[in-house]
Structure 1
């Protein structure tokens, strides 16, 4: 299910996946197939980790990488979940061929 909350986002962020929702900044983003695919990849990651562990790993990885890089945005870009989603967001068939736990290859 896709929801739109324009005041929910910080700076340049335009989409977010919170199981089972994709939350977007504007209605116009609903037609951005690459963005929607990126967020669907996150939904799949959340599902295979039974949702709550996904968020715990995500935040832990971001905290560790923030300390390593001393840059919170660079840390975000290098979270394994984000790396998998960014690397495959333009492949609209990715979710049909993706193997379970694929994010591990992006650690």
Structure 2
């Protein structure tokens, strides 16, 4: 389910997945197929990690990479979950062919 909630976002961010919702900043984002696919990849990641561990891993990896890179945005870009989603957001068929725990392939890239 896609929900619009404009006051939820920081700077240039326009979409977010919080199981089982995709939250977008503006109504027109609901029609952005690339954005929605990106967020659907995150929903699949959340589902296979039973939701709470996904968020703990996400924050933990972001903290680790923030210290590693000394840059919070670069850390965000290099979180394995984000790497997988960005690498495959243009592939509308990705979720049909994705292997379980595919984000693990993006940890050390």
Category of TM-score, reference length = shorter chain? over 0.9
- What TM-score do the two structures reach when normalised by structure 2? 0.98
Runs of 4+ in 1 over 6 A off after TM superposition: none
**1:4 aligns to what?**
4
In 2, Cα distance between equivalents of 1:89 and 1:44: 13
**Unmatched runs of 5 consecutive residues or more in structure 2:** none
**What is the correspondence of 1:47-86 to structure 2 with a 5 Å cutoff?**
47-86=47-86
- Cα deviations by residue, 1:12-57 (Å, 9 ceiling, x for unpaired): 0000000000000000000100000000000000000000000000
**1:102 aligns to what?**
102
User: Do residues 91 (structure 1) and 91 (structure 2) align?
Assistant: yes
In 1, Cα distance between equivalents of 2:34 and 2:104: 22
State the 1:77 CA deviation: 0.2
**2:19 aligns to what?**
19
In 1, Cα distance between equivalents of 2:44 and 2:89: 13
- Count of aligned pairs: 107
In 1, Cα distance between equivalents of 2:8 and 2:55: 18
